[in-house]
Structure 1
């Protein structure tokens, strides 16, 4: 575990991650959008994505194992090759640029996503298979660079698949594959050679498990739409706070 982190810091991070994985348990994505603004106050920006990759991959596996039969494999096959190419580009940008300069882009990304979600915009026309090219590639870039391409895949899948449960499970499958790709890239780059970093990921693992469990319970009692409206307001406020920090 990084030496500069105190037990109180770890506790705050754990609570934040639990909250983030509640969202993951409901939607199958969105962890980085909530966790990244918080983590940026405690660890370097370039360490956030590798950390969340380890936790997201485990969370995605947990989700997919239960409902894997509902995944639309044909869409997964279209998106994965493009997702890998985008992830390679995004990882290169993340690893070979000044991490501090990424903070403002992360803030803008979080705010933009929150505004998009709160706008209530939904695609009205069904996408063709050709749409998988930009959505898959850009989703891969966002996944590696900011730790979340899930909302991009969600836009595409909601314009291709009519069943909500199939969208969620297919998306969880993509997130699992996406995070696994990132893990391999970061492992080859030597990011995971720091044992204190791996120790921190292990210490936060229970928060991920608890969040996913609570998220599943909430889906039974609360409508997804109303809950996400509250969450998107929190995301927007977090992004604004992070942008202020980046500009100071």
Structure 2
């Protein structure tokens, strides 16, 4: 893939990925919102998800390694089994049914939640432990169906954890586990045996590192209110993107 790109193409991709991973560095998710449409102009669509899986997993490891003590393991232990069960159900739905209607309902829910949170009318309450069941399960389902589950976990974690850095690192840990599973699947399928594919990932690795570093620095400077506002804006854009995808 790399040999078919001009240097100006690589610059555009690099800048776009840096911005995408600044968002990831701040929120712990959301890369695909910016990166996928941009990459579709330059590389085959079927290569985008495997490529982003490699970069997202690396970005998650970068986030977690720096601040691993900030990950709230109790929440991870609650969500991961539900995420796995939901992913299995999501894969079955994808194989045997038409999931398009589910995408519309998810998009409407996500947009409504984000607008409600951004409105300022959100009460100062937290989700209970029981909320991990629907959020973990549904997040797993939609991760398998559409590759879009990070914002579901973000809704739950922002309603459970008070410290903004703990939210970011816990979110990154979940995304890392999710993308690592995808990498294993792609590896078994032989996707990563193509050296041109791996060389493309290596060429884009610096953009990911720079973006995550900048995003982390921004997060440390933000108040919790500003941090949650950014998360809800990313969630809103996610919902709008899903809705567009569902109706087109």
TM-score for both structures, normalised by structure 2 = 0.76
Q: CA deviation at 1:149?
A: 1.8
**Does the 8 A contact of 1:123 with 1:158 survive in 2?**
no
Q: CA deviation at 1:145?
A: 4.3
Question: Deviations along 1:145-200, whole A, 9 cap, x unmatched?
Answer: 44442211111122323333322221111111111111112222333233322221
**3-state SS of the aligned residue for 2:41?**
coil
Unaligned stretches of 5+ residues in structure 1: none
Change in Cα spacing, 1:179 to 1:194, as seen in structure 2 (3 Å) is same
Question: Deviations along 1:112-140, whole A, 9 cap, x unmatched?
Answer: 85675355355765334333233223222
Question: Deviations along 1:49-90, whole A, 9 cap, x unmatched?
Answer: 221111111111111112212222121112112223334555
Residue 117 of structure 1 corresponds to: 114
- Paired positions, count: 241
Distance 2:71 2:62 in 1: 14
Distance 2:196 2:220 in 1: 38
Residue 197 of structure 2 corresponds to: 197
What is the alpha-carbon root mean square deviation over aligned residues?
3.9
Distance 1:39 1:92 in 2: 28
The answer to whether residue 5 in structure 2 is matched with residue 8 in structure 1 is no
Change in Cα spacing, 1:230 to 1:165, as seen in structure 2 (3 Å) is closer
Unaligned stretches of 5+ residues in structure 2: none
Residue 156 of structure 1 corresponds to: 156
**Does the 8 A contact of 1:37 with 1:239 survive in 2?**
no
